[in-house]
């Protein structure tokens, strides 16, 4: 019985993770909120809930990491470090970053960057990060703006960005 559980645990974990991502993406709206001419690109409520839940889960993971057996320190450290990075990055993006745009400008706000209004003519690069699994745009005066497919209005934004870039 224990052998079956040892085999099934990773499978169940993967299924639960896949299901969570499915629901986050499923409840993401294809179009952004519009107020006048300005579109607001923001994360969906399921993503925000996931981001908030990630913080206490990471605390648990870090505690479990501290209890690892001899010889498992490196693997436990890598897993714990990954969870720690995610528990900082995801809530930061979900709750502290604001990204709006219209035909002329980008309106961006974050704790690290402050409030910025920059013209689309300052768009210098459009790319994709394999590590983060998200598109990004680089704008002079702002820096790198992450554009995940879990953003409400992501499809609309990327069509707009590709039209601006070409």
pLDDT band at 24 (very low <50, low <70, confident <90, very high): confident
Residue 17 lies in a domain: no
Residue 113 lies in a domain: yes
Q: How many whole angstroms separate alpha carbon 49 and alpha carbon 107? A: 25
Write phi, then psi, for 91 (nearest 5 degrees).
Answer: -65, -35
**What is the residue range of 70's domain?**
31-165
Is the CB of residue 145 less than 8 Å from the CB of residue 136? yes
Residue 118 lies in a domain: yes
Q: How many whole angstroms separate alpha carbon 108 and alpha carbon 113? A: 8
**pLDDT tens-digit map of 7-17:** 777 788 888 88
Residue 127, pLDDT score: 93
pTM value is: 0.83
Residue 14 lies in a domain: no
On the question of pLDDT at 76 being above 90, the answer is no
DSSP code at position 121 = G
Q: Structurally, how many domains does the chain consist of?
A: 1
Q: How many whole angstroms separate alpha carbon 96 and alpha carbon 112? A: 10
* Region 81-91 average pLDDT: 94
Residue 6 lies in a domain: no
Average pLDDT, the chain: 90
3-state secondary structure of 133: coil
Residue 53 lies in a domain: yes
Q: Which residue has the higher pLDDT, 30 or 55?
A: 55
Handedness of CA 47, 93, 132, 101 (dihedral sign): positive
* Region 148-152 average pLDDT: 91
* Other Cβ atoms within 10 Å of 90 Cβ, number: 20
Residue 48, pLDDT score: 94
CATH number, position 55: 2.30.29
Residue 4 lies in a domain: no
On the question of pLDDT at 1 being above 70, the answer is no
């Amino acid at each position: 019985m224990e052998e079956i559980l040892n085999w099934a645990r990773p499978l169940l974990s993967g299924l639960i993770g896949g299901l969570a991502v499915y629901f986050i993406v499923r409840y993401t709206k294809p179009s952004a909120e519009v107020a006048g001419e300005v579109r607001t690109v923001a994360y969906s409520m399921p993503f925000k809930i996931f981001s908030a839940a990630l913080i206490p889960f990471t605390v648990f993971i870090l505690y479990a990491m501290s209890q690892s057996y001899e010889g498992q320190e490196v693997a436990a450290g890598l897993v714990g470090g990954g969870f720690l990075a995610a528990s900082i990055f995801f809530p930061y993006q979900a709750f502290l970053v604001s990204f709006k745009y219209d035909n002329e400008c980008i309106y961006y706000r974050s704790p690290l960057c402050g409030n910025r209004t920059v013209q689309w003519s300052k768009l210098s690069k459009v790319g994709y990060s394999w590590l983060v699994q998200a598109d990004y745009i680089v704008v002079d005066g702002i820096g790198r703006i992450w554009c995940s497919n879990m953003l409400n209005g992501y499809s609309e934004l990327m069509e707009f960005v590709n039209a601006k870039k070409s």
